[in-house]
Amino acid sequence: MKNTDIEKVILSAETIRSRILEIAEEINQHYQDRVREIILITLLDGAIVFTADLIRHLSVPLRLDCIRVSSYGDSTNPETAPRILGSLKSDVRERHVLLVDDILDTGNTMQKVVSEVSAKKPASLKTCVFLNKPERRQNNFQADWSGFNIPDEFVVGYGLDYAGRYRELPYLGTLMPSIYTQTL
Ligand code: PRP
């Protein structure tokens, strides 16, 4: 049943499920017979749900690692540009790396992570995002695999939050306007 705070369901759980099967197949085909193993790095927290569903359809053996990137308010201000917090468990040098995130918005987070991981000299580096908001991009970053293009609309569910909430919803939706005016 739909959460009452949700105004409109944009992507149903079933739509998401079938697209994930397609992306997983594309990723499998890309790596099949080419690599022994990949290191899949998920960007916390938002990508947890997408990653959990995606990896269960990947046939390429993988090691899972996580990265946390600081949230930022105004991405045009270098003082608040995204920063990688902590370090990876894995040594990615000469390894095949796949970065997974929930949404490519301005592109600043992915650009930063790609640049930092590239500096560690992986054998290859690919990116996969659940959602892409092309209208919001502030650079020319493009993911190698992307689940859905969506318009510039605030969405929650399937890992994405508003003030820490709604990540657990199995679908993607927009919030009732009244939610934004409530005291949290
Ligand atoms: C969100 C999202 C992406 C990033 C995308 O992270 O998970 O990592 O923003 O935005 P960008 O393309 O404009 O850089 P957020 O900081 O909200 O943290 P979260 O993953 O914990 O929700």
Q: At what angle do helices 13-31 and 48-55 cross, to 10 degrees?
A: 60
* C-beta separation of 92 from 62 below 8 A: no
Q: Compute the distance between CA of residue 62 and CA of residue 89 in angstroms, rounded to an integer.
A: 14
Q: Domain limits of the chain?
A: 13-153
- Sorted by sequence, the CB contacts under 8 Å of residue 123 that are 6+ apart come out as 35, 94, 95, 96
The pLDDT of residue 53 is above 80 = yes
Q: Any idea which residue has 């560690």 for tokens? A: 120
Instruction: Determine the average pLDDT of the residues in 138-146.
Output: 97
For residue 33, how far is its CA from the centre of ligand 1 (angstroms)? 33
* Least confident interval from 68-72, 90-94, 101-105, 151-155: 68-72
Instruction: Determine the average pLDDT of the residues in 148-172.
Output: 97
* Least confident interval from 46-55, 79-88, 117-126, 173-182: 79-88
Q: Compute the distance between CA of residue 161 and CA of residue 89 in angstroms, rounded to an integer.
A: 26
For residue 129, how far is its CA from the centre of ligand 1 (angstroms)? 11
Q: Which ligand 1 atom is nearest residue 111's CA? A: 14
The pLDDT of residue 38 is above 90 = yes
Output the pTM of the full model: 0.94
Q: Which stretch of DSSP H or E encloses residue 101?
A: strand 96-104
What tokens appear for 24 in the block? Answer: 């997983």
Does the Cβ of 65 fall within 6 Å of ligand 1?
Answer: no
Question: Tens digit of pLDDT for each residue in 76-102?
Answer: 555 568 888 888 889 999 999 999 999
Q: How many helices (H) and strands (E) in the chain?
A: 4, 8
The domain made up of 13-153 has a fold known as: Rossmann fold (3.40.50)
pLDDT given for residue 184 in this prediction: 60
Q: Mutation test of ligand 1: which of 105, 141, 156, 158 has the most ligand atoms closer than 8 Å to its C-beta?
A: 105
Does the Cβ of 102 fall within 6 Å of ligand 1?
Answer: yes
Does the Cβ of 161 fall within 6 Å of ligand 1?
Answer: yes
pLDDT given for residue 37 in this prediction: 97
Amino acid identity, residue 143? Answer: A
Instruction: Determine the average pLDDT of the residues in 45-65.
Output: 97
For residue 34, how far is its CA from the centre of ligand 1 (angstroms)? 31
